Amino acid sequence: MTLESILFIVFAAVGLASALLLVTRRNPIISALYLILNFFALAGLYLTLHAQFIAVIQILVYAGAIMVLFVFVIMLLNLRDERSLREGLSWKKVFAAGVSFGLLMEVIYILMTSASGMTELLPAKATEIGTVEAIGSRLFTRFLFPFEVTSVLLTAAIVGAILLAKKKLD
Amino acid sequence: MDHIDILITLAKIVAAFAFLILGAAMTVLLERRVSAFIQNRIGPNRVGPGGLIQPFADVAKLVMKEDIVPRSANRFIHDMAPMISIGVALSTFAIVPFGNGIDIFGRHVKLMIADVNIGMLYLLALTSVGVYGITLAGWSSNNKYSLLGGLRSSAQLISYELSMGLSLIGVLMIAGTLRLDEIVLRQTQYIGGILPKWNIFLQPLGFITFVIASFAETNRLPFDLPEAEPELVGGYHTEYSGMKFGLFFLAEYANMITSSAIITTLFLGGWDVPYIEGLGLAPLTLALVQVGGFLVKVALVVLFYIIVRWTIPRFRYDQLMNLGWKVMLPLAIANALGTGLVLLLIA
Amino acid sequence: MNTYLTDILQSGALMITTITGIVLLLVEANRRGRPATSFALAIVGLLAAGMTALIQMPAHGTGFSGMVQTGGFASFFAALFAVAGAMTIALSRSYLARIGWFRGEYAILTVFAVVGMMLIAASNDLIILFLGVELMSVCLYVLAGLARVRDRSNEAALKYFLLGAFATGFLLYGIALIYGAVGSTNFEAISAAFPAISAHIMFLAGAGLVVVGLSFKVSAVPFHMWAPDVYEGAPTTVSALMSTAAKAAAFSGFLVLFVRTFHFVGAGLNTVLAVIAAASMILGNVVAIAQTNIKRMLAYSSIAHAGYMLAGVAAANAIGLMGVAFYLVAYAFMNIGAFAVVSMVEDDHEQHLTLDDYAGLSKQRPLVAALMAVFMFALAGVPPFAGFFGKYYVFLAAVEGKMTWLAIVGVLTSLISAYYYLRIVVLMYFRDGAADVAAKPSVLTMVTVVLAALLVLQLGITPSVVVQAAQRFF
């Protein structure tokens, strides 16, 4: 077993476990912390794919900035443990479970039938795709336009957020 | 990678962390002596010559103290918070180059623990994670003063992280790399043959914004709102005692040293000692002198930290936020823009 | 540097609209309390963008490293979005002032939403398609919640946002799968790879998820749940924008992807689209009958119209493409007009929104009632108004595309729809109402509505203008 596959198993296990704990814990702060752990595991997985930039950004942006705000808001609202909602077995739930199961089977089927051709591309090409230099030069040449559009999107989102959230509009 | 490489790496880790921990202890003493000097007192001078052993006595005291966890606190997170703080403080130091590479045992050894090619991003990522220590300490104590401290710290750190990251862009553009050792190498030349080509001269505005942001990120005065005693008793660590409090204390000083080291690396030429190549020193001596130069620079920045703490009053919370968002951020962006323009004109 | 300059000039409408948005931001930041300037600037900017788009329509090309296409299809829709955006802003001025939310941000967000719509129509890459959908949606989420002290407005914004975010997730997942199957996000590359890849199950799954995401944005059954609540709760002029320009934008996404990139064959999803279309026509029209609130009624009618247009997409032929394009233009003007009349009748406190409030409108405001009658006839598809030709083309396309059953469903449900559209007309002209209708509409509003009515009539008489443009789309 290579080092890479060991790392993959470790990160994948941590990721899955933290994701499960995230949805099963009742305390919102603890849930948020498991989400952060999950992001770290995800960053680790990116590293095994040689995508260092995405890995660091995952930590920097998601774990370090967005989740801080999540935790901040949960603390500010002083949320208590979530009480269990009325847990009846309605036809909606049965239906939803059925649909989810069907989708899961579908995804498994797709992966079984078509995944064979997907993986061979990876190792050779991946090392050069994931570096900061490669991403930077693509971002400012071929993908310059989407990059700029994103800035317009963020500007519009900021205007909207202020409009909706500002305590006292003038 | 064979055994010798592993041994070398282990040696580097031990050396760096010993330096960091001892440095933190010494910084505590330095802080107490300097503050005493500024306030016209004497300061601790009884334990050991000139009080040199004082920090160790303090540690012994902290270790022997009872560890109190409030009854309604979340025990697990209460225990974890100081570990996060100290862990982040220590691991940031891993990427700081404290000297030029030396040739030893027939191989080239870089004087830094982890040679990562995304060094600067690693630095920012760890800084951004460091918030959790304080925030979670505040929350898990289940005490309103602690919670306020924790909330303040997350708001403050998030706000200043932005200016911190943006003020680095100028350095990044000049160096053209994210590796910290290469950033130092670029600074070893001279401007016009006289002035060292340190980034502080090329990026004065970036230097100022970065230093201010570093002060905020390390929660040092004038940005120590998370633990402002008059308002919040002790802030986030009100409910901590014993060695867990000691860890926070240690983390604060370790952070201070690490951030001084980062400032030195990025703006003050790192281990570069200007005009030394004219002396014709032997390679190993040269390396040692350079490590010494690095340590001196770090110590001077630490001293600066301490002097600022004892001379400048604390900000009010809204002033802090205004400074962060309305002054620092535009300045950092202007710096990045200006640097870009100048580079474009030169090229 | 120079290549970017040509790119910028080529996609003039997009650039003018974006610059308008940025100028509005600066104007808003430096001046207090006079949103009228922003509204005027926005209208001027959007009209200029629309003109530019029309001028640039004959020149086909791609720009920004193949990220967007210019001219033809993109310009056609850019002009439509710009005009529709300008019209809703013009309508909003007095309406928003009346309900107390006359703010410059409204103009800014509308302009940015139009930028997003233009990007969808101009997209030549899945990334741009996604960013366009996001930009448009984010602006609309906020606009829906603009009157944030109103419970219904908040409800509308939250519902739209939560469901919309979910739909965006589907869209993005679909895009990821398509990218996984093809290895490129560029439409030309996907188009070239299409014959080989069209039966690949990963590709089909991706295309299916994209259908889900876009169907949500056009409010087609079964992804229509949000529409009635959102149209009812959002400020009326915002509902006008959402039901016309935003829907047209999502449809332009459908067209660009399924017609252009997938070579009319719709990736084997034609049947799925046809079923969605039939379900939308039936459910929209039947449920609309039971509505008493006019905004909800128009919402269900809008679901039904999405069904008619999807029939044109499902038919997957040149007539379908042209029919949907024509339908979108016609529908934009008639629905903007209808919502404009609703906004005139509505009072300051979310009252006068039931159908009964329209009783006797012809006696109090004869002109407004006459205009409403025009829009209702047009929506019902009565000749000589534009709605008739829209339906004619899409049903013709369905028949040509061997989907006669779909055309029959369409015609039958159109008959049902006549009932609730004409009921409004009956109420306005043949019933006496006690309700006193809201204040005298402003000149700007009236001019806009009259313009919309004239366009509906004009397109009904000379549909060839749009038809000819549609022949040179790609």
Q: Does B147 touch chain A (CB under 8 A)?
A: yes
Q: Which pLDDT tens digit goes with each residue over C343-374?
A: 888 887 777 888 888 888 888 888 888 999 99
**DSSP code, position A120:** G
Confidence category of residue C192, pLDDT binned at 50, 70, 90: confident
Q: Which pLDDT tens digit goes with each residue over C10-28?
A: 888 999 999 999 999 998 8
Residue B277 has pLDDT above 80, yes or no: no
Going by C-beta distance under 8 Å and a sequence separation of 6 or more, which residues neighbour residue B297?
B264, B268, B269
Confidence category of residue B29, pLDDT binned at 50, 70, 90: confident
Distance from CA of A59 to the nearest CA of C (A): 22
Angle between helical axes of C2-10 and C12-30 (0-180°, round to 10): 90
Of residues B261 and C200, the one with the higher pLDDT is B261
Confidence category of residue C306, pLDDT binned at 50, 70, 90: very high
Q: State whether C131 and A114 contact (CB < 8 Å).
A: no
- Percent of chain C surpassing pLDDT 70: 96
Inside any domain, residue A112: no
Among B121, B127, B156, which would you mutate to test the A interface (most chain A Cβ atoms within 10 Å of its Cβ)? B121
Q: Which pLDDT tens digit goes with each residue over B86-96?
A: 888 888 888 88
* Residues C141/A160, Cβ–Cβ less than 8 Å: yes
Q: What is the CATH number of the domain that holds A59?
A: 1.20.120.1200
Q: CA nearest C25: which of C111, C101, C91?
A: C111
Residue B1's pLDDT is what? Answer: 54
Inside any domain, residue A167: yes
Residue A80 has pLDDT above 80, yes or no: no
Residue B234's pLDDT is what? Answer: 67
Prior bond to C384 cis, omega within 30? yes
One-letter amino acid identity for B305? Answer: Y
Of C68, C131, C205, the CB nearest to A150: C131
Of residues C435 and C460, the one with the higher pLDDT is C460
Inside any domain, residue A84: no
Of residues B3 and A152, the one with the higher pLDDT is A152
Scanning every residue of chain C, which has its alpha carbon at the shortest distance from the alpha carbon of A150?
C131
ipTM of the complex: 0.90
Residue C102 token pair: 């006359």
Among C115, C142, C155, C173, which would you mutate to test the A interface (most chain A Cβ atoms within 10 Å of its Cβ)? C142
A35-39, B110-114, C285-289: which has the minimum mean pLDDT? B110-114
Going by C-beta distance under 8 Å and a sequence separation of 6 or more, which residues neighbour residue A8?
A45, A48
Q: State whether B132 and A59 contact (CB < 8 Å).
A: no
Instruction: Please state the rounded mean pLDDT for residues C163-190.
Output: 90
Residue A121 has pLDDT above 70, yes or no: no
Distance from CA of B128 to the nearest CA of A (A): 4
Distance from CA of A110 to the nearest CA of C (A): 6
Q: Which residues of A touch B135 (CB under 8 A)?
A: 68, 71-72, 75
Q: State whether A56 and B118 contact (CB < 8 Å).
A: yes
Query: Global pTM?
Result: 0.88
Last residue of a domain, one of A36, A53, A79: A79
Residue A114's pLDDT is what? Answer: 62
Going by C-beta distance under 8 Å and a sequence separation of 6 or more, which residues neighbour residue B47?
B53, B54, B56, B57
User: Does A75 share its domain with A8?
Assistant: yes
Q: How far apart are CA C70 and CA C128, in angstroms?
A: 13
Among C24, C138, C153, C166, which would you mutate to test the A interface (most chain A Cβ atoms within 10 Å of its Cβ)? C138
Inside any domain, residue A114: no
Residue B109 has pLDDT above 80, yes or no: no
Last residue of a domain, one of A39, A63, A79: A79
Residue A115's pLDDT is what? Answer: 55
Residues in chain B, total: 347
Distance from CA of A91 to the nearest CA of C (A): 18
Give the three-class secondary structure for C61.
strand
Integer angstrom CA distances of residue C366 from C142, C361, C363, C373: 35, 7, 6, 10
Q: CA nearest C53: which of C106, C100, C14?
A: C14
Residue A125's pLDDT is what? Answer: 61
Residue A1's pLDDT is what? Answer: 64
Q: Which of residues 127-146 of B touch A (CB under 8 A)?
A: 127-129, 131-132, 135-136, 138-139
Among A139, A163, A164, which would you mutate to test the C interface (most chain C Cβ atoms within 10 Å of its Cβ)? A163
Q: Where are the alpha helices (DSSP H) in chain B?
A: 3-38, 54-64, 75-92, 119-129, 131-140, 144-175, 180-186, 199-202, 204-217, 229-232, 242-267, 283-309, 317-322, 329-346
Q: CA nearest C146: which of C111, C102, C90, C115?
A: C102
One-letter amino acid identity for A32? Answer: A
Any idea which residue has 């000039």 for tokens? C9
Of A60, A65, A75, the CB nearest to B139: A75
Q: CA nearest B31: which of B245, B311, B271, B313?
A: B311
| CA C215 to the chain's CA centroid | 13
Q: How far apart are CA B243 and CA B226, in angstroms?
A: 20
For chain A, helix, strand, coil in percent to 5 are 80, 0, 20
Q: Where are the alpha helices (DSSP H) in A25-90?
A: 28-48, 52-57, 67-77
Distance from CA of A156 to the nearest CA of C (A): 7
Q: Does A27 touch chain C (CB under 8 A)?
A: no
Inside any domain, residue A152: yes
Residue B304 has pLDDT above 80, yes or no: yes
H or E element, residue C42: helix C35-55
Average predicted confidence (pLDDT) for chain C: 88
Scanning every residue of chain A, which has its alpha carbon at the shortest distance from the alpha carbon of C14?
A149
Residue C315 has pLDDT above 80, yes or no: yes
Q: State whether A76 and B127 contact (CB < 8 Å).
A: no
Q: How many CB atoms lie within 10 A of CB B298?
A: 26
Residue B111's pLDDT is what? Answer: 74
Of residues A50 and B205, the one with the higher pLDDT is B205
Q: Which pLDDT tens digit goes with each residue over B208-220?
A: 999 988 888 887 7
Integer angstrom CA distances of residue C8 from A3, B99, C77, C94, C117: 49, 49, 18, 35, 17
One-letter amino acid identity for B256? Answer: M
Residues in chain C, total: 474
Inside any domain, residue A166: yes
Tell me how many residue pairs between chain A and chain C have CB atoms under 8 A apart.
Answer: 83
Q: Which residues of A touch B118 (CB under 8 A)?
A: 52-53, 56, 132
Inside any domain, residue A90: no
* Residues A37/A11, Cβ–Cβ less than 8 Å: no
| Structural domain count, chain A | 2
Q: Does A103 touch chain C (CB under 8 A)?
A: no
Burial class for B196, CB neighbours closer than 10 Å (0-12, 13-18, 19+):
middle
Q: State whether B128 and A76 contact (CB < 8 Å).
A: no
**DSSP code, position B143:** -
Last residue of a domain, one of A35, A55, A79: A79
Q: CA nearest C330: which of C375, C284, C290?
A: C375
Q: State whether B122 and A36 contact (CB < 8 Å).
A: no
Domain span holding position A46: 1-79
- Percent of chain C surpassing pLDDT 90: 51
Confidence category of residue A124, pLDDT binned at 50, 70, 90: low
Residue B280 has pLDDT above 80, yes or no: no
Q: State whether A75 and B157 contact (CB < 8 Å).
A: no
Inside any domain, residue A102: no
Distance from CA of C377 to the nearest CA of A (A): 37
Distance from CA of C91 to the nearest CA of A (A): 21
Scanning every residue of chain B, which has its alpha carbon at the shortest distance from the alpha carbon of A30?
B77
Q: Does B168 touch chain A (CB under 8 A)?
A: no
Q: How far apart are CA A108 and CA A104, in angstroms?
A: 6
Would strands B99-104 and B107-111 be described as parallel, antiparallel, or unpaired?
antiparallel
Q: Does C157 touch chain A (CB under 8 A)?
A: yes
Q: How far apart are CA C323 and CA C403, in angstroms?
A: 15
| CA C72 to the chain's CA centroid | 19
Q: Does B125 touch chain A (CB under 8 A)?
A: yes
Residue C20's pLDDT is what? Answer: 94
C347 sits in the region (left: phi over 0; alpha: psi -120 to 50; else beta) called: beta
Average predicted confidence (pLDDT) for chain B: 82
H or E element, residue C218: helix C201-218
What separation, in Å, do the N-terminal and C-terminal C-alpha atoms of chain C show? 28
Which sign does the torsion angle of CA C368, C370, C373, C375 carry? negative
* Residues C155/C233, Cβ–Cβ less than 8 Å: yes
The Cα angle at residue B320 between residues B319 and B325, in degrees rounded to 5: 100
Of A33, A52, A68, the CB nearest to B131: A68
H or E element, residue B101: strand B99-104
Q: Which of residues 137-156 of A touch C (CB under 8 A)?
A: 141-146, 149-150, 152-153, 155-156
Of residues A107 and B322, the one with the higher pLDDT is B322
Distance from CA of A116 to the nearest CA of C (A): 12
User: Does A5 share its domain with A66?
Assistant: yes
Residue A70's pLDDT is what? Answer: 86
Instruction: Please state the rounded mean pLDDT for residues A28-46.
Output: 89
Q: How far apart are CA A100 and CA C197, in angstroms?
A: 27
Residue A170's pLDDT is what? Answer: 61
- Percent of chain B surpassing pLDDT 90: 1
Q: CA nearest C129: which of C71, C163, C176?
A: C176
Burial class for C5, CB neighbours closer than 10 Å (0-12, 13-18, 19+):
exposed
Residue C438's pLDDT is what? Answer: 60
Scanning every residue of chain A, which has its alpha carbon at the shortest distance from the alpha carbon of C133?
A153
Q: Which residues of A touch C112 (CB under 8 A)?
A: 152, 155-156, 159
